[in-house]
Amino acid sequence: MFAPVYFDYNATTPVLDCVREAMLPYFSQRYGNASSRHEYGRAARLAIDTAREQVAAALGAHPTEIVFTSGGSEANNLFVKGAAACMKPGTVAISAIEHPCVREPARELARHGWALREIAVDGAGRVRLDDFDAALAKQPGLVSVMFANNETGVVQDIALLAQRAKPGRGWFHSDAVQALGKLPLDFRRLNADGVHALTVSSHKIGGPKGAAALVLDKRVELTPLIAGGGHERGLRSGTENVPAIVGFGVACEWAAGRVADAAQRLGSLRATLERGVAAQGATIFGLGAERLPNTVYFAVPHVDGETLVGQIDRAGYAVASGAACSSAKPEPSHVLMAMGVAPELARGAVRVSLGADSTEDMVNGFLLALAETLRRLRGLAALAA
Amino acid sequence: MFAPVYFDYNATTPVLDCVREAMLPYFSQRYGNASSRHEYGRAARLAIDTAREQVAAALGAHPTEIVFTSGGSEANNLFVKGAAACMKPGTVAISAIEHPCVREPARELARHGWALREIAVDGAGRVRLDDFDAALAKQPGLVSVMFANNETGVVQDIALLAQRAKPGRGWFHSDAVQALGKLPLDFRRLNADGVHALTVSSHKIGGPKGAAALVLDKRVELTPLIAGGGHERGLRSGTENVPAIVGFGVACEWAAGRVADAAQRLGSLRATLERGVAAQGATIFGLGAERLPNTVYFAVPHVDGETLVGQIDRAGYAVASGAACSSAKPEPSHVLMAMGVAPELARGAVRVSLGADSTEDMVNGFLLALAETLRRLRGLAALAA
């Protein structure tokens, strides 16, 4: 396979060597069902217990607060639908820039008697405190604001928001899928601030696809999405995906130990990248807001994002246009729309997200390829004019 | 790790070498998110397309009828809750011996305005046709009868049941998790008989945990359990677990090509096993019914099943007491209760389930270990008396 430079770590990440090696024995040797009581089952259960401790430790949570799911989308759906099912319909308040796997369940609640309140963001993609407070005035039963946005990388001040929401007595959830491994996360402290649940996912931090967790304050009552054998304290039935959970645990341990270093290293690469794209006439989204150290989201005026991404892919760099998860729809990003970006400019959006294997050379190579691609596209445009 | 003989294939199976090898490149090389449009994403999408074709081919279905999920429990919940959410509350009819991941969602419907009708089975574990017809008279909107039972291995005549249900115009689902790889399955023919959906799972046939499918007649409208990015035709959002899906595809191809041979080979081992346990005074459950060729479910009167399984584990044989998935609860099996087995005898239930690596020598070794264990337990009982 032709191997382009991978600059799409917010979509997914390569599984780390140490993670893959840790998983391997659980496919064909220690392959037991963790519910079985014989030797194979006990080995599987032990592996899950260890992974639960690793995930909890990386997040400053207690192992009993970790509910394993098959992915971040499932964990977000579990929180939104599961908590709502234990309440009388009221108001669900979410930010206008949530991932579809928070937004769609919230919309489903709105079809079943709930009022859906979307909280506005400012031009830099930050939740507007005045609108957040206005949403709180509706006394929402559920509030969900993502920790860091998958497209822009903009980081919300979740502790501050949770503190403001705390007197309201609703449950406060944050989708922290993009934050894990890129920012320090401390559930114990966040919980004290009023955060009741966090979603984190394995495949965004060098772990395998197929494992994620809802970190959950045990006071929150949830109806499971998947009922059956009663796994995960009855909150998520189904045979545990042992190798994936083992890999998630190791990836958490690996990532937690490197957050500070990674942030510094990636932040420096990002600075190079941003200077370079700005010099080529790009608008960078979310400038002025605190952002993930690995993410640059930009558009070059009058250049279509899809086209640019396709050309750059051919030049050997894998980057994203809009969010990968909703890339079936070529509409301009709802995140950029919420930020008040003109649709024309939003259609040019390109996301570069860096990770563990990214280097300065790769960033410089990308900037050269971008310049070359823009020169060619502009030449074609001039010919057509 | 000490490696006992594994006789618990109905709980889970070792991942086949060919499956593991097929999965490996998708962890750290072709690791893309299948929704991404660059080279890495396209490679992942292609792999999923191929797996979808392999699963469909093994089941006599069309690739567009395959909805990938994270496991059998999810697929069963998706069918029961997802179909019900698109209907006015009516009657849901399920057999009395369904797996908890069908029974619990059905009970949840019963808490939301549906009538739950459980269909009785006879002493051999077969659905009673008279009671099935009586349930049909309630004009159920949903009917779910498992293809083969995980504990007893008893196989239902799903084609016959579906034909009887067909004039009723409800949706007919069958949990075929234990049937796949052990019996030939032809969705095209079953669909013509009136079966609208089948659940199958990867980790029961030598594939990895973390992948399964709902095979679905496209006329069935479903509300997704997991909403979001719109994956799987909008029926199951979430980043696809590419390696697990790839492994599931290869396992399906492998299993489908060997069903007839495996059935003959395992059937012969089962006969040896049954003669042996019967000679030691065991009652075999489901005798007289058509059963999976790999499963023997028995009890030795006055011998506790948990104790027996623990002793046999120490002697080097991994077998199950009751169903692994619900082994957190030490109640007698609901399957045996539905068959009218006395609770005392049911508490002695032990399940031996054979698979690809099982041999005649292993079976004979097990029978010797069982005899030795029973001799010791009876000696202890005599001492205590």
What is the pLDDT at residue B324? 46
A142 and A224 belong to one structural domain = yes
Residues with Cβ < 8 Å from A380, sequence gap 6 or more? Answer: none
Is B230's CB within 8 Å of A16's CB? no
Residue of chain B minimizing CA distance to A357: B28
- Paired tokens of B59: 């089941």
- Report the domain count for chain A: 2
* Residues of chain B below pLDDT 70: 1-2, 323-330, 385
Closest Cβ–Cβ partner in B6, B210, B324 for A70: B210
Interface contacts (A, B; CB < 8 Å) = 284
Which active-site residues of A does the annotation give?
A: 325
B274 φ, ψ to 5°?
A: -70, -40
B113 interface with A at CB cutoff 8 Å? no
A136 and A188 belong to one structural domain = yes
Q: At B149, is the secondary structure helix, strand, or coil?
A: coil
B369 φ, ψ to 5°?
A: -65, -40
CATH number at residue B299: 3.90.1150.10
B29 and B176 belong to one structural domain = yes
A9 interface with B at CB cutoff 8 Å? no
Is B73's CB within 8 Å of A239's CB? yes
A264 and A283 belong to one structural domain = yes
Tens of pLDDT along A116-144? Answer: 999 999 999 999 999 999 999 999 999 99
Q: Compute the nearest-CA separation of A266 from chain B (Å).
A: 21
pLDDT mean across residues, chain A: 96
Place of tokens 């899928």: A177
CATH number at residue B167: 3.40.640.10
Residues with Cβ < 8 Å from A365, sequence gap 6 or more? Answer: A5, A316, A317
Residues with Cβ < 8 Å from B231, sequence gap 6 or more? Answer: A325, B35, B237, B238, B239, B240
Q: Compute the nearest-CA separation of A242 from chain B (Å).
A: 7
Q: Specify the DSSP class assigned to residue B331.
A: S
A115 and A184 belong to one structural domain = yes
Tens of pLDDT along A337-371? Answer: 999 999 999 999 999 999 999 999 999 999 999 99
B229 and B352 belong to one structural domain = no
A250 and A304 belong to one structural domain = no
Task: Give the Cα separation of B353 and B294 in Å (integer).
Answer: 5
Q: At B372, is the secondary structure helix, strand, or coil?
A: helix
Q: Specify the DSSP class assigned to residue A255.
A: H
Q: Compute the nearest-CA separation of B304 from chain A (Å).
A: 15
What is the pLDDT at residue A81? 98
Domain range for residue A327? 5-13+259-384
A202 and A68 belong to one structural domain = yes
What is the pLDDT at residue B381? 76
Sheet holding B283-284, edge to edge: B283-284, B295-299, B350-353
Closest Cβ–Cβ partner in A20, A41, A313 for B39: A313
Confidence of residue A210 (pLDDT cuts 50, 70, 90): very high
pTM beyond 0.90: the answer is yes
Report yes or no: B179 and B185 within 8 Å, Cβ to Cβ.
Answer: yes
A242 and A366 belong to one structural domain = no
A55 and A150 belong to one structural domain = yes
Is B14's CB within 8 Å of A6's CB? no
Write the DSSP assignment of B52-78 as a string of letters.
HHHHHHHHT--GGGEEEESSHHHHHHH
Report yes or no: B248 and B202 within 8 Å, Cβ to Cβ.
Answer: yes
- With vertex at residue A172, the alpha carbon angle to CA A167 and CA A175, rounded to the nearest 5 degrees, is 155
Write the DSSP assignment of B195-209 as a string of letters.
--EEEEEGGGTTS-T
A86 interface with B at CB cutoff 8 Å? no
Confidence of residue A100 (pLDDT cuts 50, 70, 90): very high
What is the pLDDT at residue A324? 46
Is B31's CB within 8 Å of A14's CB? yes
Confidence of residue A325 (pLDDT cuts 50, 70, 90): very low
Report yes or no: A122 and A295 within 8 Å, Cβ to Cβ.
Answer: no
User: Last residue of a domain, which of B211, B233, B256?
Assistant: B256
Please determine, for residue A44, whether its predicted confidence score (pLDDT) is greater than 60: yes
User: Last residue of a domain, which of B198, B223, B256?
Assistant: B256
B265 and B240 belong to one structural domain = no
- Paired tokens of A254: 């690996």
- Paired tokens of B105: 């969602």
Cα–Cα separations (whole angstroms), residue B218 to B63, B64, B143, B194, B222: 11, 8, 17, 13, 10
Q: Are strands A317-318 and A142-144 parallel, antiparallel or unpaired?
A: unpaired
Q: Which of residues 336-355 of B touch A (CB under 8 A)?
A: none
Q: Measured in Å, how far apart are chain B's first and last C-alpha atoms?
A: 38
Torsion sign across C-alpha atoms B14, B18, B24, B30: negative
β-bridge partners, B175: B199
Task: Give the Cα separation of A233 and A154 in Å (integer).
Answer: 34
Q: Measured in Å, how far apart are chain A's first and last C-alpha atoms?
A: 38
A70 and A126 belong to one structural domain = yes
Task: Give the Cα separation of B146 and B197 in Å (integer).
Answer: 11
Is A33's CB within 8 Å of B72's CB? no
Task: Give the Cα separation of A204 and A181 in Å (integer).
Answer: 8
User: Last residue of a domain, which of B212, B235, B256?
Assistant: B256
- Name the residue among B240, B247, B238 with its Cα closest to residue B24: B247
Task: Give the Cα separation of A26 and B29 in Å (integer).
Answer: 20
